Structure formats: structure tokens, C-alpha cells
Structure 1
């Protein structure tokens, strides 16, 4: 690793630590530079703004989530247990940021925000998260119904976004209400998917998939 790469990594690591410890709103580029022992200009050379560092946070969280999910999925075969493992490990990884979760939501929820998870600049982090759900679906035994298999990872990721929003505002001890939501909702989802195998009922699912495809990007 070159010295330039080392400096960039240092600035990113310091920023992520400060996000965890004092929150996004209170962290400034000047304070990041001071903590990292570099000039403010040097910090801006690597990251044009705090928003750029939020992308680093997204990537960091997704990488950690992928590693934890892969480990948890080793002992999970059916889709219900694999999806529970994927969602719970996601909550585990996000836990250190819970106190400041609303700050990130307020920043990212604006349609024009460069750190909006649906923005072009967030493509790498979004794809990394989708890959986690693809792994959960593709390794399931028995496999998910064929007609929904290709669309399922993205639909589950959207559910995960909803769970994340619930988690941000969950003030229960250790966010146990969110954990109960996951444990209760996942079996409902997987039982609902079984309807794809019932000829008459599956038409409703076809309509859902058609709507989902029509509103993409």
C-alpha cells in the first residue's frame, strides 16, 4: 500500500470512528483532519466532503455484514433461517451507529442527497448489500420458487430498508422490538412465497413482480 493509500485509509478510519463516537452531525472535516494528524486540505484531497465519507461508511458496513452473514449462513439451509441470519447480522453490524442513526437518515433520505441509497453514487454499496441477499436466496434448500427467484433478492433488500428505518427509531433495549419484527415477519414472507406454487393465487404474485419491475430505475 502506497503512502497516499495509507493516508486515505487513515482519514476514512478516523471518520468512521468519530461517526460512531460523536455522530455524523458533530463530526466535521476539520475535526477528522485534526484527529488523523493531517492538514484539512489533505483530508479534502481524499474526500471532497463528509458525504463522501458516508459512502465509505456504507461500504464498510456492507463488507462487515457480508462477512458476518456468510459465517451465519454456513449453518442455515432453508430460506427462513437464511433470511433471519442475514437480517440479524445486518442489525449486529449497524448496532454501533444506532445512537446517531436518525442523523444518517436525515442526511440520506433527501432525494437530491448524494448519499441517498438509491443515488448513482451509492451504487457500489447498494450492489454489495444486494449481493448479500442474493447469497441468502441462492443457497437456500429447498430453493425459492423459480418464478420469484431472480427478483427476490431486490425485494428482500427493500424489506431490509424498511427494517432499518424501524430500527433507527426503535428505543427498546438493544432494539429488541426490531429483532422481534424480523423473527415474526420472515416466516410470513417465506410462507407467502409458497403461494407462487399455487396456480390461481400465483397471479397476484405475478402482478406484484410486474409492478416491481415497472418502477425500477
Structure 2
């Protein structure tokens, strides 16, 4: 059984994430979270030093849920296109309750120096968890992804997922229909491009893409 301290920490986190969804990021204060959770403000700060730390908790929980849903969604699917499509749709399903929060929150998260930027050092745990999802997608694909792309492809897919998430934030269509359509179109294009890797001319272009990606990361 979880200790009382762990239970209190989880309670504060759960209340904060619900308030983010319902009231928005800016309107949700640590004092309001503490009041709603029935703990002192000092106690809330004991577990989470700021709202930024609560956002990191959100990131980690969302990635855990995404991993579970993605694993279920890709069961029995072998081709890379189908696995990628199922994984991206699973991610959209998990994020959907936070759409209102996401649209307001992006102004904070997009700042390069923000600790809740997905590329920040503070976001490492959530980012690694998300990368692991795409690594599983690549490693479980059949036919196998060409060897020279396997190490880099999960990160490239994750970067693409970040682009999809940004598109989703601003998607006002019913049930985020436009984002779903984007996913359905992009996944087979990526798989088709990789399938052409054995063609000399195309292979050289893909090699150049990998080289550019590595140089930017370095």
C-alpha cells in the first residue's frame, strides 16, 4: 500500500491536473490546488515546488497512459505504417481531455527557456518515456526497418509527433478531425519513404536527412 505521504502527493497531482483541464493553466494557482486538495499551501509546495513541476507530473502520466494505449492499439499490427498510425491516434486519445488546457498552455511551453518546454532538461523523463514508445514501434515492425535508420528513426518520429501535437492544439474541428486526417496521411508516407531506402538515389537522400538530423543534435 502507498504511504500516506505518497497518497497526499498523488492527491495534489490529481487535483492540479483536473484543475488544469477545467480552469486552465493560468487560473490554477498553487493556493487553489491546496484548498481543493484539502491540504495546506506549504504541504502542496512540499510535494511540488511550482506549477511547472505539476506540469512535469502531467507529462509523465500522459506518457504512461500513451504507452499503455499504444501497446494495446498495435497488438497484432506488424507493418510500420499501421503501427505508427495506431500509436499517433492513441496519443491523440490520451491528450484529448487536455485540449482546452493545451491551447492556453502552449504560450508557456513554447518558450525556449521554459522548464515545461518538451525539449528542456526538466522534461527529460517524459521525453525519454515518449521516445521509448516510438522505439517499440520501430523495433516491432515487420518487414524490419532498414538497419541504418533504426537508431535515429524513433527520435525523428517523436519530433514528428511534436509537430502533430502542435497542430492538434490549434485544431478547432469537431473531434479534432483535421488532426486525425493528418495522422492517417502522414503515417503511410513515412513508411513508404523508408521502403524506398534500397534504391540508390533515394537512399542517398535519406542518408543526407539522417546526417542533417545528427549534426543538428550534436
The two structures share one fold, judged by TM-score above 0.5: yes
Q: TM-score, normalised by structure 1?
A: 0.98
Alpha-carbon displacement from aligned partner over 1:73-103 (angstroms, at most 9, x marks no partner): 1131100100000000000000001112122
- Consecutive unaligned residues of structure 1, counting only runs of 5 or more, are none
Matched-pair contact (CA < 8 Å) for 1:33–1:43? yes
Q: TM-score, normalised by structure 2?
A: 0.97
**Mapping of 1:100-139 within 5 angstroms?**
100-139=101-140
Matched-pair contact (CA < 8 Å) for 1:20–1:96? yes
Which portions of structure 1, spanning 4 or more consecutive aligned residues, are displaced by more than 4 angstroms? none
Q: Which residue of 1 aligns with 2:177?
A: 176
Matched-pair contact (CA < 8 Å) for 1:20–1:97? yes
Q: Which residue of 1 aligns with 2:92?
A: 91
Alpha-carbon displacement from aligned partner over 1:46-77 (angstroms, at most 9, x marks no partner): 11110000000000100000000000111311
Work out the CA distance in 2 between the residues paired with 1:201 and 1:97. 40
Which secondary structure state, in structure 2, belongs to the residue aligned with residue 200 of structure 1? helix
Root-mean-square deviation (CA), in Å?
Answer: 0.9
Q: Which residue of 1 aligns with 2:40?
A: 39
Matched-pair contact (CA < 8 Å) for 1:115–1:121? yes
Q: Which residue of 1 aligns with 2:31?
A: 30
Work out the CA distance in 1 between the residues paired with 2:101 and 2:10. 23
Matched-pair contact (CA < 8 Å) for 1:147–1:196? no
